[in-house]
């Protein structure tokens, strides 16, 4: 599968980074701060802006009525790329950027795949990341397939804002209902329609009756549910908002708990309205009496990036810290910052001074000029506000407004006066990126980065963890095209004794290779450096910077694809060496493989658990089968290592969606923590997942109109779910820092139960039931549980609400495996009144060695009967070339013909009988 050129314009590939928090706020029932961004990959088309306005306006009215007059869209910013022409009505963005986008209008994930979807990978009730809409959808070219844009936006908004899930399931489109019939997976079950197989060959399409699969006892794979065009049912928006009568979400009274959809699975069979009603939005509002005003739109166009470095040179920065800061800043200026960026520099201690006015980086000359402005000595106090004030002066000398400009603030000390300039920072329109060096860096500045949409990054004093260089490397542009952005391939460090070697390899895959940059640092004495390309050719042109204790090498042109080998020999005892490797996309028409990392929260209080997320993509296509490891470092430099999984179990919401997850509970101390993720894709393991996104909009297969199906063209599908294995690759990524508080100093008790089982599946084999699930751990998804408690019931509600009263299955022979292993168990149900029961519902609870129990698993079900198929006997379109009147004439003709044949037969038989009698008389 060839990845189209337009997919290179992927500006939301860093949406997983911790600075991606949405700016949406709810004010007097109205949502403010919504950002809808148009990708540079979209050709300039003013009609697109008008259609976005129409879509949001229609969505606001639909949302207001659907939420019982509670929510509407108040104001929306439309972010226009710098590839579009400048116009007077286009304003300069402030904190708005592609990084914080709520709705992205961009080319489809793959050609002809225009399905809208929401990037959603957290548990039920948690916000999604962004909505992806294609230009053709917004322009109304896909309304037949997906319905009106405004209504669909509300469907996706429910994913994004309230964390609900779809009430259909393309993987399980039918199920065995308690009515003992095969039903389409939907909510409400009051939605009427027909089940048919839609076959097309060339320009000819026919509808065939659905046949039952003898193995599943349900309809065959290609059977689809075609809803009636005219309905009276008002629910549900999370099933099919395109039905004209549907204007509400399912609630507790009318929710279909039997249907095997994601809403039931992920939200413990709760209706969408129950989840919405439990949200903070709902709790903080009351229904409105008056109708809401129409949305207000702001048109914002991306401008050149402007960055001012504000570097701490106070007394606490003396010695090794100052040198490490200079190493990282040089790396940022030489490699990480994009061409075309305007960069200035300010130093501060108890006061601040300008070291470089804004310079636009065009070539190496400007980069070297900025390198010469870095501090060479440290001393004095710490005045963060002074540094920020002078940075504002630097920016205003070139721009009258500082809206959207970025300040990279690095400090290692506390400053009690830092909060004094917080309001000024908030009102400035600038974005503050905060790099905290060491355990004492001021915590008040965190709020500056949070409210302005900047990143909060942390680096400990443990040099071998390479945290400061990683932090600067993470500060690539939130608005730059991905082909321009520096991608970190490797980041490692090691402390060695004299004469020992740090050996390793770096994989350069074919999606990167341009501007490939190797950086080596040391603490005491320059090491011996060997670097070999994949052909074994040594690289000898390292630039040695003895003053900053670093050496670097830029590969000319495009680096050779393959395994690069390095060997670094320490020349001093307790020598700390690090290696950092970055590169850019090799080809502007092929998106590079990227890895992005984040925690689910920026602040946390013990003992609440946290979740680590890492997303691997090529363009918008998930990369699955990779090996992903998270390194979480505390204030003091202690590092916890976690293997992340994309298995749809434990902390991971969806299997094979390219998002790798794991719970984190190994808190060691209060304070800041940093996150680094390393991903490796082996040549025989990693693949692209071409399946449709899990939270995609429903494709309308067609409508039943006056008893006849009017079909849409079949939904575009990939020939295969995955492509052939990728080549080997490696990536590292940095997430924003997070802060944990209230950790006790005494030994911690066992507070964490096993994680909830979310992938329980049940099948029948004769009178036996086979169960499969992924094993949880003693502490969420780490370790091994003590035992499983399996219970069954004839009522799904009783099993959910009264689990301890349900019939328990004998699990004496079931010995738990390590977390994330596959578990299987087979049993024969007993004490079930089959003459009355229609289903057996099954759930599992896990227990650890401290007798802590998990949440009840998702509920699996098996039918105790063979469900009946459709009762209707009239095929809606048995032959497109034959009309109903022709069918009637054929039937009448056949009856007449049969009557004639019977009459003739009787006549002949009677005649023979009479003839026989005459002969007998002789």
Check which CATH number belongs to the domain holding 782 and give it: 2.60.40.10
* Mean predicted confidence (pLDDT) in 184-197: 94
* Mean predicted confidence (pLDDT) in 828-839: 73
| Lowest pLDDT segment from 670-674, 800-804, 863-867 | 863-867
Asked if pLDDT for residue 527 goes beyond 50, the answer is yes
Decide if 589 is inside a domain: no
Decide if 2 is inside a domain: no
Please give the pLDDT value at position 906.
52
pLDDT band at 834 (very low <50, low <70, confident <90, very high): low
Domain count for the chain, please give it. 6
pLDDT band at 2 (very low <50, low <70, confident <90, very high): very low
Q: How far is CA 478 from the centre of its chain?
A: 17
- pLDDT (tens digit, 9 = 90+) per residue, 420-456? 999 999 999 999 999 999 998 888 899 999 999 999 9
Decide if 770 is inside a domain: yes
Cα separation, 181 vs 210, whole angstroms: 14
Please give the pLDDT value at position 797.
82
Please give the pLDDT value at position 65.
97
pLDDT band at 110 (very low <50, low <70, confident <90, very high): confident
Decide if 837 is inside a domain: yes
Decide if 433 is inside a domain: yes
Please give the pLDDT value at position 721.
59
- pLDDT (tens digit, 9 = 90+) per residue, 701-738? 999 999 999 999 888 766 555 566 789 999 999 999 99
For 280, the 3-state DSSP assignment is helix
* Mean predicted confidence (pLDDT) in 395-408: 94
Decide if 136 is inside a domain: yes
* 454 shares a domain with 337: yes
Cα separation, 857 vs 268, whole angstroms: 8
Asked if pLDDT for residue 146 goes beyond 70, the answer is yes
Name the burial class of residue 879, with classes exposed (0-12), middle (13-18) and buried (19+) by CB atoms within 10 angstroms of its CB: exposed
* Mean predicted confidence (pLDDT) in 682-705: 87
- β-pairing verdict for 193-201 and 182-184: unpaired
pLDDT band at 38 (very low <50, low <70, confident <90, very high): very high
* 473 shares a domain with 512: no
- pTM for the model: 0.89
Decide if 704 is inside a domain: no
pLDDT band at 880 (very low <50, low <70, confident <90, very high): very low
- pLDDT (tens digit, 9 = 90+) per residue, 567-615? 999 999 999 999 999 999 999 889 999 999 999 999 999 999 999 999 9
* Mean predicted confidence (pLDDT) in 746-750: 82
Over pLDDT 90: what percentage of the chain?
A: 77
Using the 3D structure, point to which of 301, 336, 366 is the last residue of a domain: 301
The kind and range of the H/E element at 593 are: strand 593-599
* 550 shares a domain with 466: no
* Mean predicted confidence (pLDDT) in 770-779: 96
Using the 3D structure, point to which of 411, 446, 478 is the last residue of a domain: 478
Decide which of 693 and 738 is more confident. Answer: 738
Asked if pLDDT for residue 922 goes beyond 90, the answer is no
* Mean predicted confidence (pLDDT) in 164-168: 96
Name the burial class of residue 911, with classes exposed (0-12), middle (13-18) and buried (19+) by CB atoms within 10 angstroms of its CB: exposed
Cα separation, 215 vs 877, whole angstroms: 28
CATH of the domain at 551: 2.60.120
pLDDT band at 868 (very low <50, low <70, confident <90, very high): confident
Q: What count of Cα atoms within 13 Å lies in the side-chain half-sphere of residue 33?
A: 14
Contact 842, 828 (CB under 8 A): no
* Mean predicted confidence (pLDDT) in 368-384: 96
Per-residue three-class SS string for 814-857:
CCCCCCCCEEEEEECCCCCCCCCCCEEEEEEEEECCCCCECCCC
Please give the pLDDT value at position 329.
98
pLDDT band at 217 (very low <50, low <70, confident <90, very high): confident
Asked if pLDDT for residue 882 goes beyond 80, the answer is no
Please give the pLDDT value at position 913.
45
* 832 shares a domain with 737: no
Decide if 330 is inside a domain: yes
Please give the pLDDT value at position 127.
95
- β-pairing verdict for 708-711 and 702-705: antiparallel
Neighbouring residues of 149: CB distance < 8 A, sequence distance ≥ 6: 51, 54, 55, 58, 59, 133, 137, 138, 140, 143
* 189 shares a domain with 294: no
Cα separation, 817 vs 827, whole angstroms: 18
- pLDDT (tens digit, 9 = 90+) per residue, 488-509? 999 999 999 999 999 999 999 9
Cα separation, 346 vs 665, whole angstroms: 39
* 228 shares a domain with 373: no
Please give the pLDDT value at position 6.
38
Contact 128, 163 (CB under 8 A): yes
* 200 shares a domain with 86: no
Q: 820's torsion region: left (phi>0), alpha (psi -120 to 50) or beta?
A: left
* 674 shares a domain with 635: yes
Asked if pLDDT for residue 681 goes beyond 80, the answer is yes
DSSP state, residue 802? -
Q: Which two tokens stand for residue 544?
A: 């040695």
Domain that holds residue 54: 25-164+276-301
Q: What is the DSSP string of 439-455?
A: TTS-STHHHHHHHHT--
Cα separation, 487 vs 732, whole angstroms: 8
Please give the pLDDT value at position 117.
95
Using the 3D structure, point to which of 545, 569, 584 is the last residue of a domain: 584
Cα separation, 397 vs 431, whole angstroms: 18
Please give the pLDDT value at position 871.
60
* 121 shares a domain with 228: no
pLDDT band at 896 (very low <50, low <70, confident <90, very high): low
pLDDT band at 17 (very low <50, low <70, confident <90, very high): very low
Cα separation, 321 vs 592, whole angstroms: 34
Cα separation, 218 vs 895, whole angstroms: 36
Catalytic residue among 115, 156, 794, 823: 156
Asked if pLDDT for residue 914 goes beyond 50, the answer is no
Please give the pLDDT value at position 886.
44
- The reply to whether 156 belongs to the active site is yes
* 445 shares a domain with 520: no
CA angle 520, 524, 526 (to 5 degrees): 45
Q: What is the DSSP string of 852-876?
A: -BPPPPPPEEEESS--B-------S
Asked if pLDDT for residue 125 goes beyond 70, the answer is yes
| Lowest pLDDT segment from 232-236, 348-352, 903-907 | 903-907
Q: Give the mean pLDDT of the chain.
A: 90
Asked if pLDDT for residue 853 goes beyond 60, the answer is yes
For residue 280, how many other CB atoms are within 10 A of its CB? 10
* 346 shares a domain with 450: yes
* 546 shares a domain with 636: no
pLDDT band at 73 (very low <50, low <70, confident <90, very high): very high
Cα separation, 336 vs 552, whole angstroms: 14
DSSP state, residue 78? E
């Amino acid at each position: 599968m060839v990845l189209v050129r337009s997919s290179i314009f992927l500006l939301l590939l860093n949406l997983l980074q911790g600075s991606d928090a949405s700016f949406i706020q709810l004010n007097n029932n109205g949502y403010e701060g919504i950002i809808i961004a148009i990708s540079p990959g979209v050709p300039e088309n003013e009609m697109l802006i008008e259609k976005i306005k129409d879509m949001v306006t229609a969505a606001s009215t639909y949302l207001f009525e659907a939420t019982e007059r509670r929510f509407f869209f108040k104001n929306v910013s439309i972010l226009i790329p710098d590839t579009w022409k400048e116009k007077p009505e286009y304003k300069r963005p402030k904190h708005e950027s592609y990084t914080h986008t709520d709705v992205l209008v961009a080319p489809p994930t793959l050609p002809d795949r225009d399905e809208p979807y929401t990037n959603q990978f957290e548990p039920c009730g948690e916000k999604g990341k962004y909505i992806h809409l294609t230009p053709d959808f917004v322009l109304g070219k896909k309304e037949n397939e997906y319905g009106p844009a405004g209504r669909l936006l509300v469907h996706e908004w429910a994913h994004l804002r309230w964390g609900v899930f779809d009430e259909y399931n393309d993987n399980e489109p039918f199920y065995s209902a308690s009515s003992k019939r095969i039903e389409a997976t939907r909510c409400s079950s009051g939605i009427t329609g027909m089940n048919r197989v839609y076959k097309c060959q060339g320009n000819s399409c026919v509808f065939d009756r659905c046949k039952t699969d003898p193995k599943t006892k349900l309809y065959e794979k290609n059977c689809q549910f075609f809803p009636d065009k005219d309905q009276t049912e008002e629910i549900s928006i999370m099933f099919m908002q395109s039905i004209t009568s549907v204007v509400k979400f399912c609630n507790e009274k009318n929710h279909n708990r039997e249907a095997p959809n994601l809403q039931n699975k992920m939200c413990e069979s709760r209706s969408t309205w129950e989840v919405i009603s439990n949200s903070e939005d709902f709790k903080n509002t009351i229904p409105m009496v008056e109708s809401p005003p129409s949305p207000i739109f702001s048109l914002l166009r991306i401008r050149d990036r402007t960055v001012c470095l504000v570097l701490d040179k106070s007394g606490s920065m003396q010695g090794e810290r100052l040198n490490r800061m200079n190493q990282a800043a040089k790396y940022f200026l030489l490699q990480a910052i994009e061409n075309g960026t305007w960069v200035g520099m300010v130093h501060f201690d108890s006061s601040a001074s300008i070291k470089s006015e804004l310079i636009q980086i065009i070539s190496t000359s400007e980069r070297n000029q900025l390198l010469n402005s870095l501090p060479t000595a440290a001393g004095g106090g710490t005045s963060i506000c002074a540094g920020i004030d002078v940075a504002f002066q630097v920016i205003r000398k070139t721009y009258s407004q500082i809206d959207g400009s970025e300040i990279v603030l690095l400090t290692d000390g506390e400053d009690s006066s830092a909060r004094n300039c917080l309001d000024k920072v908030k009102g400035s329109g600038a974005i503050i990126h905060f790099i905290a060096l060491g355990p004492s860096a001021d915590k008040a500045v965190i709020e500056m980065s949070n409210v302005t949409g900047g990143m909060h990054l942390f680096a400990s004093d443990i040099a071998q963890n390479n945290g400061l260089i990683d932090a600067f490397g993470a500060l690539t542009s939130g608005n730059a095209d991905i082909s321009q952005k520096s991608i970190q391939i490797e980041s490692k460090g090691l402390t060695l004794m004299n004469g020992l070697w740090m050996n390793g390899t770096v994989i350069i895959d074919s999606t990167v290779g341009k501007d490939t940059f190797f950086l080596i640092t040391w603490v005491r004495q320059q090491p011996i450096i060997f670097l070999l390309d994949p052909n074994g050719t040594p690289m000898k042109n390292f630039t040695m910077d003895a003053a900053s204790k670093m050496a670097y090498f830029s590969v000319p042109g495009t680096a050779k694809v393959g395994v690069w080998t390095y060997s670094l020999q320490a020349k001093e005892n307790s020598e700390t060496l690090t290696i950092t490797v970055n590169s850019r996309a090799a080809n502007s028409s092929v998106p590079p493989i990227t890895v992005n990392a984040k925690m689910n929260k920026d602040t946390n209080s013990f003992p609440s658990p946290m979740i680590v997320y890492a997303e691997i993509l090529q363009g918008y296509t998930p990369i699955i089968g990779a090996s992903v490891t998270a390194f979480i470092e505390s204030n003091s430099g202690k590092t916890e290592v976690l293997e992340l999984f994309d298995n749809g179990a434990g902390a991971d919401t969806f299997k094979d969606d390219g998002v790798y997850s794991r719970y984190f509970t190994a808190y060691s101390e209060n304070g800041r923590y940093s996150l680094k993720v390393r991903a490796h894709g082996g040549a025989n393991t990693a693949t692209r997942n071409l399946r449709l996104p899990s939270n995609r909009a429903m494709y309308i297969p067609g409508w039943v109109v006056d008893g006849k199906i009017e079909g849409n063209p079949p939904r575009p599908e990939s020939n295969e779910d995955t492509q052939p294995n990728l080549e080997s690759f490696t990536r590292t990524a940095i997430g924003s820092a997070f802060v944990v508080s209230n950790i006790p100093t005494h030994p911690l008790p066992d507070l964490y139960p096993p994680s909830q089982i979310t992938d329980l599946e049940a099948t029948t084999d004769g009178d036996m039931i086979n169960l499969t699930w992924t094993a949880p751990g003693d502490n969420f998804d780490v370790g091994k549980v003590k035992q499983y408690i399996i219970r069954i019931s004839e009522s799904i509600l009783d099993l959910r609400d009264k689990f301890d009263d349900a019939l328990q299955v004998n699990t004496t022979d079931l010995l738990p495996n390590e977390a994330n292993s596959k578990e299987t168990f087979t049993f024969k149900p007993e004490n079930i009144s089959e003459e009355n029961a229609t289903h057996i519902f099954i759930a599992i609870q896990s227990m650890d060695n401290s007798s802590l129990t998990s949440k009840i698993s998702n509920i699996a079900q098996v039918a105790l009967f063979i469900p009946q198929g459709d009762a209707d006997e009239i095929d809606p379109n048995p032959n497109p070339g034959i009309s109903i009147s022709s069918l009637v004439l054929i039937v009448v003709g056949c009856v007449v013909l049969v009557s004639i044949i019977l009459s003739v037969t009787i006549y002949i038989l009677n005649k023979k009988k009479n003839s026989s009698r005459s002969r007998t008389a002789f």
